[in-house]
Structure 1
């Protein structure tokens, strides 16, 4: 395949119907994934209280943690499978799994059933990001790849906004009726099956693996590329990039799950102090969730456009600093609902933007034979390590912060600074696929970074 086009043709002429279909399917899939998870966080506290016959921040945090653990497990499992059998079939399996089991939550009668169903839904939910991001990166083999990846990531915020709208209208009916809407994503599987085929890189990787099997059968020596994909990610020359990207994910996810999990409950506390409780609080929670996700939508969608202008690493730094500023200005100090409505978009723009960067940047660091696995592993290790964040915030709110959940959320979310460590050890890609060859001194000014990062050579796109 040819290198990315730099011609002066109108940009629409550079994009095929297949590329548009891939972008539509992955954006909608990620939107419905966000719809499911955001809808759940808005009803997690009342659902837990109903099933336990008492409110419990610990058990609310626990069920969110189990969902994240399922997400990470499913991502690693299906990400590796996608690197061997292809992206499309795995994407369909994931969509069906998280939609069916979200809807199945309606029928649970015990808390342990609630937790189990959410764990299984998480397994399906984990497929969308690594496989969808790999599919977009490989299908959009032109100069618009970063923008397309950002648009795909904006789907998460679109879905979360949609969930806020649904909760606004049906939240008063009860948490079961609200979660019944989780079955909607199943319809996407039909579209994917009908309109999306595997990108050319999938066939190329399969052909290369078949050729290597024949060579090995003829007596050729085993090479690093012959190893199982997960082994490759934790061996040279890829291990440095795997670790660096994982650190970025860890920092981003501590903040993301801290603010998305607990903001609805924090808003309930804020309005309860003014006498607004029960079903009367539903519109307030809905609008606050919408405000967070409006900022998130802008952060997601703009990341690729900004990164094409100023570079990936500078855009990461910008998103991180905005997220940190928003968190510190809001959660430790604000006790006004109006203040939350003004500052939640700032938090969303910064924190969500970092995750968009992962979808743009990480595929450029890993080759097509390990790309979905790399996206899955780096995000999933981050999720395993940060899954206890919501649980921890709920626990320390009582023990360290005199019951102040907002300050506890700020403390956990500030672990976003870990992302700066990973960012230091990654090269600037300038929009190219860089994953083979010998290191160059231009990767980073630090010699340590050169040792951690493998080479910068453009992948044929």
Structure 2
């Protein structure tokens, strides 16, 4: 195993580096939600077109996660991680100076493509350093970079009230490029997988995902990822806008978004700690019950103190729940197919993440408001809970073998 050959210092550096990659993903996820009104004003966009701005980045992530994971199994994780950060940084910066709507859409798509390839690679890099005892802890330390990045954007927008949306995207695009030289030095390049006489060295995608009884892990994992990320992205993309439509002032809406992301840090670290101690079905009960309550409060009340509480809960259970899925996904796949398995699960999650903001745009355009969004979200919570509970059963069987 890789973790036995890695010095403790290097292990810390690897997790720290991946934390910063996650930080910039969080920055990019939150920036369009914070900048939504500015972007809509600059390009004269309606709600459906804003749905595309949110979703095209996620659409890029879907392709990035799907192909990036596969490419990393061949070329090595280090090269793919460096390349994906380069693509992400350049095109996020381009978003800020896009001369027209078409270039804006393209820049969002390619930003997502770079980020999408980074995530499964990064999860596998950290997974290679983890043991059964510290898997939840290491994964949550890496993944909490995502809500911290989002907090940074929300905090910046609250503190610098007249900050231009273009400035946010330039900061988020140019800064991650500084990580690339550090990656070149710190990350180890795993020996690439070479196809030899036996085809088992590089298993085909279908073999990785469905061979023998593997589909019993793959399908519930996909369902859990799809619906959990769908809800998470509805909240990240639309919440500030929805709260302002419910009558909150801009700064109050940003405050709820800020505490949502503070909750996300608490959830990522707290649930990661619990993952090393509880059974997966117990985690599912905690996460999805909490999410059910949080959504019900967020979309039915206008009282700011209640919204702040609901915002914290929403962050704990939607982003925290998502980080648990990321943490457990590598254990269902082995060997050279691991990044492929994780990458396809994340791709399905991205499909949900893309569906969420688009669906919300359509629901709002139909005039169904937050009640319509709530009605679309709650069944998704129940389905996710069932899927993750099913995974618990299969995990217990695997552990007993």
Question: TM-score by structure 2 length?
Answer: 0.92
Structure 2 CA distance for aligned equivalents of residues 338 and 141 of structure 1:
41
Structure 2 CA distance for aligned equivalents of residues 96 and 409 of structure 1:
36
Structure 2 CA distance for aligned equivalents of residues 131 and 313 of structure 1:
27
Match of residue 53 from structure 2:
63
Instruction: Name the structure with the higher helix share.
Output: 2
**1:208-248 CA-partner distances (Å, limit 9, x unpaired):** x45xx1x44xxxxx55x653245522443422211111011
Relative distance call for 1:231 and 1:116 in structure 2 (3 A) is farther
Gaps of 5+ in 2: none
Structure 1 CA distance for aligned equivalents of residues 165 and 206 of structure 2:
39
Structure 1 CA distance for aligned equivalents of residues 390 and 231 of structure 2:
21
Match of residue 44 from structure 1:
36
Equivalent of 2:343 in 352, 371, 376: 376
Q: CA deviation at 1:420?
A: 2.2
Contact conserved, 1:74 with 1:127, CA < 8 A, in 2? Answer: yes
Say if 2:106 is the partner of 1:116.
Answer: yes
Contact conserved, 2:256 with 2:311, CA < 8 A, in 1? Answer: yes
Matched length? 398
Structure 2 CA distance for aligned equivalents of residues 152 and 396 of structure 1:
35
Structure 2 CA distance for aligned equivalents of residues 26 and 3 of structure 1:
16
Match of residue 157 from structure 2:
167
Equivalent of 2:375 in 405, 408, 411: 411
- If asked which structure has higher relative contact order (CA below 8 Å, sep 6+), I would say 2
Contact conserved, 1:91 with 1:131, CA < 8 A, in 2? Answer: yes
Q: CA deviation at 1:145?
A: 2.1
Q: CA deviation at 1:19?
A: 0.9
Structure 1 CA distance for aligned equivalents of residues 31 and 207 of structure 2:
36
Gaps of 5+ in 1: 5-13, 217-221, 435-441, 444-454
Q: CA deviation at 1:345?
A: 0.2
Match of residue 290 from structure 2:
322
Residues 91-102 of structure 1 mapped to structure 2, 5 A cutoff: 91-102=81-92
Relative distance call for 1:15 and 1:343 in structure 2 (3 A) is farther
Structure 1 CA distance for aligned equivalents of residues 177 and 377 of structure 2:
33
**1:424-452 CA-partner distances (Å, limit 9, x unpaired):** 332458xxxx7xxxxxxx52xxxxxxxxx
Contact conserved, 1:326 with 1:344, CA < 8 A, in 2? Answer: yes
Residues 424-435 of structure 1 mapped to structure 2, 5 A cutoff: 424-427=389-392
Q: CA deviation at 1:107?
A: 1.1
Match of residue 27 from structure 1:
19
**1:99-144 CA-partner distances (Å, limit 9, x unpaired):** 2111111111222221111011000111232111111110123621
Match of residue 243 from structure 2:
267
Larger Rg: 1
Match of residue 136 from structure 1:
126
Match of residue 344 from structure 1:
311
Contact conserved, 2:234 with 2:353, CA < 8 A, in 1? Answer: no
Structure 1 CA distance for aligned equivalents of residues 386 and 40 of structure 2:
37
Residues 262-341 of structure 1 mapped to structure 2, 5 A cutoff: 262-271=238-247, 276=249, 281=250, 283-331=251-299, 333-341=300-308
Q: CA deviation at 1:177?
A: 2.1
Contact conserved, 2:208 with 2:341, CA < 8 A, in 1? Answer: no
Please give the secondary structure, in 1, of the residue aligned with 2:144. helix
Match of residue 158 from structure 1:
148
Structure 2 CA distance for aligned equivalents of residues 456 and 44 of structure 1:
46
Equivalent of 1:399 in 366, 373, 379: 366
Structure 1 CA distance for aligned equivalents of residues 102 and 37 of structure 2:
15
Question: TM-score by structure 1 length?
Answer: 0.80
Say if 2:225 is the partner of 1:249.
Answer: yes
Q: CA deviation at 1:412?
A: 3.3
Structure 1 CA distance for aligned equivalents of residues 225 and 72 of structure 2:
21
Please give the secondary structure, in 2, of the residue aligned with 1:173. coil
Contact conserved, 2:231 with 2:353, CA < 8 A, in 1? Answer: no
State the superposition RMSD in angstroms. Answer: 2.4
Say if 2:77 is the partner of 1:87.
Answer: yes
Q: CA deviation at 1:386?
A: 4.3
Q: CA deviation at 1:28?
A: 1.2
